[in-house]
Homo-oligomer: A and B are copies of this chain.
Amino acid sequence: MNGPSGTMTKRATVGDVAAHAGVSTATVSRVLNGGAVTDATAAKVWEAVARLDYTPNALTKSIFAGRSSTIGVVIRDLSSPFYLDLIRGVDEVAAANDSLVLLANTFRQVDREVAQVRTMDEQRVRGLVVTTGETTDGRTRRMAESGTPCVVVARTVRNPPPRLHSVSLNNRKAGRLMARHLAGCGRSRVGVITSGSRQSQLERTAGLRRALAELGLPLPADAVAVAETETEVSHALSSLVAGARSRGTPLDAIVCTTGRLTVAVHSALTARGVAIPDDMAFLTMDDFPWAAALGITVVAQPAYEMGRRAAELIVERLAEPVKHVFDPALVARTSCGEARTGHSARD
């Protein structure tokens, strides 16, 4: 049962400490958790704790509390910079609240999502942050109902029960920021690379299309190409470019609606010998450390803040469902060329 053996010194328990200090287990518990005790007994107990190298079992403690002191985070794709910053935010407030982060990466597989969320439930996490799709909604609802605060990231839930919150981005505004910036830089024929049919992706494209239309710039359906993975990007880009050219309206801007594919889109562009921004403007989601060096203009999400807020919602334990929508911000660099007219990035 114990695998390849080796000398193992067994761990001390409250009982051991009590025995060595000549007191009861209740007293030990009191000195450890701050009850009313004499300095003398406290000293004896601490001495025993030190000598036995006693380390309390947090698992057992959690049984009484009904739940662990851990915040669960289920991430779809741990390689995306957005999620890394999100986790940092969660971890930051978790640490400030004596909690640890219990992490699970689902590698974008639905069956894993369901299993991981279930596992988090079994672990009796203090709260749960999920970036998964609707498949897991049934369980998160029940978790929230039975007392575990849950926060859905980048998606909203219709008719949420108590304690089921959401933290998301104003995606339509993100699209709008993109449209206005592009127009301000004199671009009029934009092609979009988007990732599947997640709510956030759809809304960004919708916001972009709407704002473009208001500026008199149509975004035909075939100017939007879907790429689920990095390997599909090159093909998506080709069809976009070829399609537009055959229609006699060659593109002068490429928008990428997900930070996850920024590298892939950029390298596909480069591979085709496209000069940015001279041949083509390039605008993408999510700021990242190298963006400045590369001069890539982005619409940034406050990922770190979103993580912080998610964790705060868990710690606060409000019954009332909170729906926190964050604002995106355009970070203008050089990948869309010079702005023609002075325009505001505000709203």
Contact = CB atoms under 8 A, between A and B. Distances in A.
B263 A293 contact: yes
A329 interface: no
7 contacts: A8-B147, A58-B123, A59-B59, A63-B63, A101-B102, A102-B102, A294-B294
A121 interface: yes
Contacts of A8: 145-147
A208 to B, nearest CB: 25
A112 interface: yes
A6 interface: yes
A162 B57 contact: no
A173 interface: no
Copies in the complex: 2
Interface stretch (A151-159, A238-246, A315-323): A315-323
A248 B200 CA distance: 58
B59 A63 contact: yes
A119 B70 CA distance: 11
A95 B87 contact: no
Given A102-B103, A263-B293, A290-B290, 4 more contacts: A11-B146, A58-B123, A87-B103, A263-B289
Contacts of A9: 145-146
Nearest to A269: B293
A249 interface: no
Interface in A280-310: 289-290, 292-294
Interface in A93-119: 95, 100-105, 112, 116, 118-119
A325 interface: no
A206 interface: no
A222 interface: no
A267 interface: yes
Interface string A18-43: 00000000000000000000000000
